[in-house]
Structure 1
Amino acid sequence: MEQFGGTSAGWETMEIETPFGDPIRQRETSEPSSPLDTGLTPWNESASSLADDSWGEAPSESEALIAELLAELRDEAFDEALLGLAEETEMAVADRFTSETVENAGERERFAEMQLEGLRFEAESYLDRLHQGIAETDFASLSDAQLDQFLERFDPDQSDLTPAGEEFIGGLIKKARKAVKWVAKKAKSVARTIGKAGSKLLGPVLKRLKGLVRPLLKRVLGFAIGKLPAPLQPIARKLATRLRFEAEGEDEGEARVFAAQLDDMGELAQSFDMLVAEAVIDDEMPDGFGKAEEDEASDYAQGANRPMKLAEARGTLLRQLREAEARQDLSPEIEQFVPALLGALRIGIRLVGRPKVVNFLARFIAQLIQRWVGPKLSNPLSRAIVDAGLRLISLEAEAEAEGALDEDRVATEALAAVIEDTVRRFAENEAYVLDDEELVRIAAGEAFSGAVATFFPSSLIKESLQEAPSLGGVFVPQRMNELRPYARYSRVPEVTITEQMAEALPAFGGEALGAVIGAAELGFPLRGRLHLVQAMSGTTPSQILRRLGLRHGAMGTAALQPLTRAAAGVLLQEPRLGTDGPKRRARRPGLSKPGDRYYVIEPLGQGGTGRRSRPADASRFRQHVDATGRSVVLSYYLSERRAQRVALEMKSSASAAALARTLIGMMGGLQRRGGQSPRRGRSLCARGSCR
């Protein structure tokens, strides 16, 4: 913890306990540090109120109808389809371009647009055909079964689409059918005929739905090339807030102000559903309303530029670190970098409008990294990182092209990563911390210590801060000059995973790792290498697997799993090497945020079933609270192996008890392994109806 002097004292009078070990103190020079005034009094920083007076009001009739239709439209398979489409597009762009730099951003975007153009045409053509068919059909005499048969006539031929494209079109067809059937049902329930007048009721709905295809694919494209996908419409965002539609566990203010930073395909799908529901319910909604997102001045354009601005700012910071003189004060450079980083962080809202806090943090970091600034002083850091096992991992493309490891670059990127990670950790504190000077100092010290423990080798830091002394490795930043950098652990430990260990480890989707390994048809004990990775701004799991060359291994994308504290403890006996992120990210691997850690299993001696590009088909459990907060939907998917076992047990005992035990066990396992707790769901069941 950092011990500071009085609020009006300069840095030269402060007693700062650094995270660095004694060997570093012995190498320090006697050069005096430049005085920096850290006076933070009076401490009157405060964030603007984000309270919403509409909270607590009963939904209007229109909102109730929208909520009802939202529950009908909800389809988690569509979430997966969007994620698969984004990853497929990302892979196509990565195969075409070897790097993701600011300079080739325009080319990558145009290439990605071409990849999605055929899919957009197919989707819009389907909706046009459906629109035309509805206009020429008398619905009055059609039963529900006949309506289903009628809608099936317009299904497109998907033979020329990619697997992800087929899933996307399939999900869109389901939503269009549900919207049509819902309107037909409602019209009949109020004794209205929709016979030849069907086009008057359903025509505008399908026209508006067609207008949403292009913006939706634009967001998928943004995810694939490292931009920030925005919600589809501000109006949807506003209504979503009224209906308590924000992601579980997120700060309300963040969800409103930073809604443009939508980096989860599930949230994007929900935003799409919201706008579809509005298109069905709101008669006054103008045609073509979804195309406002094409405007360069829209929220999307502003939000999408944030990763680009961060990449540019990071590049500037790296250059400034390389060119700095020995023990130079880099406070101004860090202070210029922080706003760009906060703009790309969802949590950055907590520091927006607090220049005094940002200024203090910049000077605080600058003071503590001074001992490594300058070519001569950075050499010990470079050598220590290399000695910690950097040469044991495969080097990135730029290092391979050079034919040798640039040790100066290693130190520079480590310092830049420490700066970035310190700000990220500091921003994760609750808002009340930023209102108290002493708490700010404590939080800054803890954030810096955590960042140093991540990116500095254990030989240079105190023993009490070392994350994995038995491994002796360090997280090394990779691709720092690109839009989506990440950090890779310098050592690749070999482990043996027993069946008992695998059953105790969490995996994405709420199942145990044992189920994932079993679905990949790999046996126990499983011997393999573990590649450890930490996400930075913009990192995607698909990108990690691609960089490691393991996307098509025996386990496919299921080889990547969350490195929680429990997993790090069981697999490596080093629990501090793991991180426990928000529970919602334990359900789906497509969402990551800076600081998340993963391990990737590379099986040794077992080939599995061969080349895989999709996750192993393991069982999954998910929970969804509808927009009104009045019902909870529990979704279970049983793998083929597990379903067969349950079916045999049910047949032998002539009872559904085996199925009940399985479902209850899956739900309980999700709670234990970091999934969403059903506590809220139980309270909602008491107030409303559960399905």
Structure 2
Amino acid sequence: MSMSVLRPYGLDSAAGDGERSASPFAPAGLAAAEAPVAAPAQVLNSPFAEAAVAAGEAGRGAETAGALLAELDDEEFAETLDVLVDEAAARHLRSVGTWSSASEAPALASIDTGQWLEELARESDRVLRGLEAHFGERPAGSLQDGEIEAVAGLPAMDGFTHPLDAQQLFLGGLLDKAKKLAKGVGKLAKKGFSALGNLALGPLFATLRKLVRPLLKKVLDTAIGKLPESLRPLAGQLAAKLNGETGLAEEFDEAITEAVTLRKDTLEEHPALDGYEAVGNDLDEARARLNRELSAADPEVPPTEQLQQFLPVVMAALPLVRTAVKVVGRDRIVNKIAELIARLIQGMVGPEAAKLLSRHIASTGLGLLGLETSEPESLGAEAMVAATEDTVREVLKLPPESLENDLVLEAAVQDAFAESVARHMPAAVLRSELVEREFDGEHGVWVLMPRATRPCFRYKKYSHAIPVRVSRPIARAVVLSSGETLERRLLDDGTETWPVEGEVELYELLPGGTLGHVAAFESDDGAVSEFEVLTESAAGTLMGRPHWGHNGHRVGSRRPGSRFFRFHHRGRPLHHRHFFALGFDLTAPQPVLRVNLPIGERDSHELVAQLQRRQLVQVVSTVRKLLGEPAVAALGRRLEHLMSKHGIAAPAGAAQALAGTLAGGMLRSLAQQLPAAAATLAQAAQDPASGVTLTFTFAFTDRAAVAAGTPAGDPALTVRAGQHRD
């Protein structure tokens, strides 16, 4: 083989002796929105403007809607929808892999997944129709505890346990939503919200029933990554909702509220609902096409035209960068970036290059993953396509002014491409300064997954399962998204001796990807709860690589580039659990905030032993450890989201300050009430139900006090056996 043919180029030999962008490849890389009718004369004219009356009605309507939305607020239902979306996404991708025709597989898989959700729609309709017929014209305020469950006849579901329970979890969540709707309407009617005074239970459940099927249609669209072409350029709130990062539960509550207060009983559909095109499917086809083209390209000719066809598809999946691209000019950006990348990869394309790259990646990547592939020769060009795709995403983060500057753009492309190539290519084909010896002296690579459904890729996996030795201080320093620490998670798992030997596996989402896709192919039981957000802190503390993680915990579950990790201990993965559950009641003259603190089985047994020995100080100390800085920080983030959701305007930092105030109040309340509540706590801890829940109820003088973070004294404490989130 002639290395002169396969040599990596700079920007272009036509650049002459001027400055060139450096190729990341080693020289010998391949080797290795009517006028009013006059009133009759006998009718007295009001001195008040009609606008004033209308404004008053509008104000009451808005007040009613806001109060009902607050009653419908259900954090657990939002998580139920997340579970349903993840399971639907997993079923869709698994089905893709069962069809022999790659071009027809996505559509056929969508039909399969739609049928699964249709089963759920029919069962939901049956249950709600039964409630409608049974309760009829009974007033909304007459509903008694347990009635809905007795009529529905559904088994109780305790927690989010397994994707196979997704349908049952949704039905349980739907019954909870029906209860919230009935009790909320009854409660508000008693408080003088006249618009709700004559509503009966049967019509309420009928209204809810009409909204379920449209909701499940949105679940399907979210799960399979559908996005109307006409909406792809939109940014902001709409783009976030369509991408499934936020909104399904909120949209459903808003639709219920509109149906009840305005008698509007349809969940708004997205424009152009027919003719959706799946973003992920577009990229699948484009990646496969470019893979073939690069594998067959002439290494003496820059593959500019091929890249010019590929880049617009990548850009279509990035609606949030469209503003910058529109300012600069789409064609100019596409052509310029394609030209630059084409020159950088020119010498690394073609049949011979594709085969050699594939061999290196197969041994470095798939071999370590314990996978086999029937098309090893596609891995090289596949990695090149992935590197190109990541480069485009990174470069398009630049502001318009930078994109307009050729030198800045060229430097950005060069640097982003080098970093991306280093993530996807083995050490043998890289310049030495780009090779980062990660673990055990090896340089790992990111591989497109799942292999069984190629060319439909939805995530990447790092080739190495990273061995880690975790001391107790390190475990205490690793803060998980729930606010727990890895130390607490390991203790709950039964850890008694330190340090702990474990392994970390890394994953990264592609456009259209969800954790449901990852769990479907990586978890033995398809459990999303095995995966945690890879923050900068976790990546740095566990593996010494903070740049591998994200800054902060609030990472969109469907955002391309989002990274997650799974921690294996004793040969099995750890599962996350819910830590805090919050709920506002803003309809009373004095707003109320409930904070549920679930205590795990291990800590519950420890509390029992301490109470039996009358070690009340140790009881407070145990709970105090649960309310440490990580938990308070997580509580602050949850409060910020909840306050924003309910329209409570608070200054920057107020939510975090309130979290600290709440934590202090919780400890004082426990300490003050503990002597009298010790027997109740001990009984709850010994109950067969798993763990204990401490519910702290804070009162505020008004909404302004909530924004100011000043509760009216310490909270009331309620102790219950089991894990509760209401």
TM-score (norm 1): 0.74
Structure 1 414/640 Cα, relative in aligned 2: closer, same or farther at 3 Å?
same
What percentage of aligned pairs have identical amino acids?
Answer: 25
Q: What is the one-letter code of the residue matched to 2:616? A: S
Alignment of 1:375-414 (within 5 A): 375-386=351-362, 388-396=364-372, 399=373, 402=374, 406=376, 408-414=377-383
Q: What is the one-letter code of the residue matched to 1:175? A: K
Specify which of 243, 249, 253 is matched with residue 262 of structure 1: 243
Deviations 1:570-596 (A, max 9, x none): 4334444x221563128xxxx143223
SS at match of 1:363: helix
1:419 aligns with: 388
Q: CA deviation at 1:213?
A: 0.8
2:24 pairs with 1:20: yes
SS at match of 1:532: strand
Gaps of 5+ in 1: 28-58, 238-251
SS at match of 1:446: helix
1:601 aligns with: 567
Q: CA deviation at 1:292?
A: 4.4
Structure 1 632/267 Cα, relative in aligned 2: closer, same or farther at 3 Å?
farther
Q: What is the alpha-carbon distance in structure 2 between the residues aligned to residue 542 and residue 675 of structure 1?
A: 27
Q: CA deviation at 1:372?
A: 0.7
Farther off after superposition, 516-525 or 170-179: 516-525
SS at match of 1:358: helix
Q: What is the alpha-carbon distance in structure 1 between the residues aligned to residue 241 and residue 524 of structure 2?
A: 30
Q: What is the alpha-carbon distance in structure 2 between the residues aligned to residue 74 and residue 468 of structure 1?
A: 49
Q: What is the one-letter code of the residue matched to 1:178? A: K
1:68 aligns with: 67
Q: What is the alpha-carbon distance in structure 1 between the residues aligned to residue 412 and residue 519 of structure 2?
A: 34
Farther off after superposition, 93-102 or 173-182: 93-102
Q: CA deviation at 1:679?
A: 2.4
Q: What is the alpha-carbon distance in structure 2 between the residues aligned to residue 562 and residue 467 of structure 1?
A: 23
Q: CA deviation at 1:418?
A: 0.8
Q: What is the alpha-carbon distance in structure 1 between the residues aligned to residue 542 and residue 236 of structure 2?
A: 36
Q: CA deviation at 1:417?
A: 0.4
Q: What is the alpha-carbon distance in structure 1 between the residues aligned to residue 616 and residue 269 of structure 2?
A: 59
2:49 aligns with: none
Farther off after superposition, 659-668 or 485-494: 659-668
Q: CA deviation at 1:656?
A: 5.9
Cα contact 1:511–1:666 (8 A) shared by 2: yes
1:180 aligns with: 182
Farther off after superposition, 616-625 or 387-396: 616-625
Cα contact 2:536–2:552 (8 A) shared by 1: no
Q: What is the alpha-carbon distance in structure 1 between the residues aligned to residue 457 and residue 274 of structure 2?
A: 18
Structure 1 446/204 Cα, relative in aligned 2: closer, same or farther at 3 Å?
farther
1:490 aligns with: 463
Structure 1 359/205 Cα, relative in aligned 2: closer, same or farther at 3 Å?
farther
Count of matched residue positions in the alignment of Structure 1 and Structure 2: 598
User: Highest CA radius of gyration, 1 or 2?
Assistant: 2
2:124 aligns with: 123
Q: What is the one-letter code of the residue matched to 2:22? A: T
Cα contact 1:179–1:280 (8 A) shared by 2: no
Cα contact 2:531–2:575 (8 A) shared by 1: no
1:663 aligns with: 627
Alignment of 1:553-568 (within 5 A): 557-568=528-539
Q: CA deviation at 1:261?
A: 3.1
SS at match of 2:554: helix
TM-score (norm 2): 0.70
Structure 1 461/163 Cα, relative in aligned 2: closer, same or farther at 3 Å?
same
Q: What is the alpha-carbon distance in structure 1 between the residues aligned to residue 268 and residue 182 of structure 2?
A: 22
Specify which of 343, 356, 370 is matched with residue 367 of structure 1: 343
SS at match of 2:301: coil
Q: What is the alpha-carbon distance in structure 1 between the residues aligned to residue 654 and residue 314 of structure 2?
A: 34
Alignment of 1:401-480 (within 5 A): 402=374, 406=376, 408-430=377-399, 433-434=402-403, 436-469=405-438, 470-478=441-449, 479=451
2:615 pairs with 1:652: yes
Specify which of 248, 263, 271 is matched with residue 251 of structure 2: 271
Q: What is the alpha-carbon distance in structure 2 between the residues aligned to residue 675 and residue 381 of structure 1?
A: 50
SS at match of 1:567: helix
2:693 aligns with: none
Q: CA deviation at 1:472?
A: 1.6
Alignment root-mean-square deviation, CA: 4.4
Farther off after superposition, 172-181 or 505-514: 505-514
2:477 pairs with 1:504: yes
Q: CA deviation at 1:626?
A: 11
Q: What is the alpha-carbon distance in structure 2 between the residues aligned to residue 646 and residue 435 of structure 1?
A: 64
Cα contact 1:494–1:530 (8 A) shared by 2: yes
Q: CA deviation at 1:77?
A: 1.3
Deviations 1:589-636 (A, max 9, x none): xx1432233333344xx366xxx9xx73645247799999x9988664
Q: What is the alpha-carbon distance in structure 1 between the residues aligned to residue 576 and residue 204 of structure 2?
A: 36
Deviations 1:27-78 (A, max 9, x none): 9xxxxxxxxxxxxxxxxxxxxxxxxxxxxxxx95544443333332222211
Structure 1 337/24 Cα, relative in aligned 2: closer, same or farther at 3 Å?
same
Structure 1 657/68 Cα, relative in aligned 2: closer, same or farther at 3 Å?
farther
Q: What is the alpha-carbon distance in structure 1 between the residues aligned to residue 405 and residue 437 of structure 2?
A: 33
Specify which of 564, 571, 575 is matched with residue 616 of structure 1: 575
Cα contact 1:307–1:538 (8 A) shared by 2: yes
Q: What is the alpha-carbon distance in structure 2 between the residues aligned to residue 19 and residue 644 of structure 1?
A: 60
Q: What is the alpha-carbon distance in structure 1 between the residues aligned to residue 656 and residue 504 of structure 2?
A: 39
Q: CA deviation at 1:412?
A: 0.7
Deviations 1:271-312 (A, max 9, x none): 2222222222224x2x4x23746xxxx355566522222222
Q: What is the one-letter code of the residue matched to 1:571? A: L
Q: What is the alpha-carbon distance in structure 2 between the residues aligned to residue 89 and residue 343 of structure 1?
A: 24
SS at match of 1:15: coil
Alignment of 1:82-161 (within 5 A): 82-92=81-91, 98=97, 101-138=102-139, 147-148=144-145, 150-158=147-155
Q: CA deviation at 1:421?
A: 0.8
Cα contact 1:633–1:690 (8 A) shared by 2: no
Q: What is the alpha-carbon distance in structure 1 between the residues aligned to residue 187 and residue 297 of structure 2?
A: 70
